[in-house]
Amino acid sequence: MNRLIRGGLSAAVIAGLALTVTLGAATAPRVQFTDAKLENGLRVIIAEDHTAPTFSIAVTYNVGSRNERPGRTGFAHLFEHMMFKGSENVGSGEHFVLVYGNGGDMNGSTNKDRTNYFERLPANQLDLALFLEADRMKSLDITKDNLQNQISTVQEERRQSVDNQPYGRTMEALDGLMYENASYRHSVIGSMQDLTAATVDDVSAFFRTYYAPNNAVLAIVGDVKPVECLAKVRKYFEGIPSQPPPPEPDMTEPAQTREKRLTIDDPLVRMPRIDIAYHIPPANTADSEALNVLGTVLSSGRSSRFFENVVRQKQLATQAFAGALESRGPGQFRAIALVAPGKDVADVEAAVYAEIDRVKTGTIEDWELQKARNSARRSLLGGLTSSLQRAVMLSQYAVYYNDPNIINTKLGKISAVTAADVQRVAGKYLTPENRTVVITMPKPAAATKGGE
């Protein structure tokens, strides 16, 4: 169904998929789209929806921090910034001016597995959006001044979001302790030292390797006609040359055979926090949806087990969460508990493990499964009401799994999860030898001279 077809749109229309979105139906909503590929390798997904006279465009590049090598971390996120610093026909910062000045909005984001850029605009501005995305894909303006400016910007962002943020270093410590594989060990934002060391040659090489049409998926959702829309895409993008396929990162991770544990001091926090991570398989594999349901049972809402038993009844923690992170490589199921004032860290940690054990050996009620299905439906429907979220999901599923139609099948997989499935994955993955624990403790303020 997701076969890519070179040539005209008429040949690219996927059998069985019409060109509308149906929302509010009793059955799962279905996003209908076309899927084509240009000669230069750019994959183009178009979903027609005339609900409003607007459209959204998302360009997802198959590059994230997992593609960075040691000593050169933070490059993918750095490019999230560099891509707004101008290109052959667009001045520095003009991307913002042109989009906002024509009634749109825009942004970009980076994670370990991908980088995306997106805009929403009135329907009559399709040419503008395609021109802007194509121009920076073919001719990004990488200069020493631009690079230094954005390195400074990213380093300031790191100070704000990591170095000077309560619990900001906790996730870095957890990933660094949990993973043996370098691809997932470092943070997306990278290290100060690596950013400082970045050169124009380094960054230019990174751009040529990863920001090519054959390493990207373009999704357009909204008030467009697919035939006309694809013709415009060809006009702006088909002349951009493809590049040699980038190297695939090695994502192998050895099995963990013993608990890993670390305590860090954080002078910015007032209460201890417990972060527990378990290795799980990549997302979109056999156990993924059962792990997602497990996260809902443990911590979604005030009726969840963590909230009812750890937070409300025992009053050991002020907050407690759990859930599986979507990862293309070795994944994480993470549990976090913020220790309540006056409570012992060990007691809170033991209470978290007790709830996990209760899932493994006790009974999972029908209402808990139904709640997970309802939550998944609400989340999916909420996302699908936005043309931008549809564009992001379609392009991301295409990059991650070569299957944008996951947007139509994910809800059914969650609905099929049984109580036995949830207990099986809890018993299989949430084991003592497979967990990594980081305790973040308040660091007492240094005594001042004279005892003042």
- What one-character-per-residue DSSP string does 159-209 give? IIIIITSTTTTHHHHHHHHH--SHHHHS-TT--HHHHHH--HHHHHHHHHH
Which has the minimum average pLDDT: 21-35, 69-83, 186-200? 21-35
Backbone phi, then psi, for 95, in 5-degree steps?
-55, -45
Helix axes 144-158, 75-82, angle to 10 degrees: 120
Q: What is the pLDDT of residue 99?
A: 97
Cβ atoms of 380 and 408 closer than 8 Å: no
Q: What is the mean pLDDT of residues 338-356?
A: 98
Alpha helices in 23-93 (DSSP H): 75-82
Q: Residue 163: which residues within 8 A CB-CB, separation 6 or more?
A: 169
Extract long-range pairs of 323-327: CB within 8 Å, 24+ residues apart.
Answer: 323/292, 323/295, 323/296, 323/298, 323/299, 324/280, 324/283, 324/288, 324/291, 324/292, 324/294, 324/295, 326/283, 327/112, 327/113, 327/184, 327/282, 327/283
How confident is the model over 201-247, as pLDDT tens digits?
998 999 999 999 999 999 999 999 999 999 999 999 999 999 999 99
Rounded to the nearest 5 degrees, what angle is found at the Cα of 154, between the Cα atoms of 436 and 191?
A: 40
Q: What is the mean pLDDT of residues 159-164?
A: 94
Alpha-carbon dihedral of residues 200, 202, 208, 210, nearest 10 degrees?
A: -130
Alpha helices in 64-191 (DSSP H): 75-82, 94-101, 126-139, 144-158, 170-178, 182-185
Strands, E assignment, 289-401? 317-324, 331-339
Cβ atoms of 218 and 45 closer than 8 Å: yes
- Confidence check: pLDDT of 35 > 60: yes
Q: What is the mean pLDDT of residues 126-141?
A: 96
- Confidence check: pLDDT of 83 > 70: yes
Which has the minimum average pLDDT: 94-98, 126-130, 446-450? 446-450
To the question of pTM greater than 0.75 for the whole model, the response is yes
Rounded to the nearest 5 degrees, what angle is found at the Cα of 423, between the Cα atoms of 421 and 429?
A: 95
Q: What is the pLDDT of residue 214?
A: 98
Q: What is the pLDDT of residue 105?
A: 97
- Confidence check: pLDDT of 140 > 50: yes
- Confidence check: pLDDT of 2 > 50: no
Q: Mean pLDDT score of the chain, rounded to an integer?
A: 91
Helix axes 406-415, 366-384, angle to 10 degrees: 170
Rounded to the nearest 5 degrees, what angle is found at the Cα of 283, between the Cα atoms of 301 and 170?
A: 65
Which has the minimum average pLDDT: 17-31, 271-285, 334-348, 409-423? 17-31
Which has the minimum average pLDDT: 21-35, 101-115, 344-358? 21-35
- Confidence check: pLDDT of 304 > 70: yes
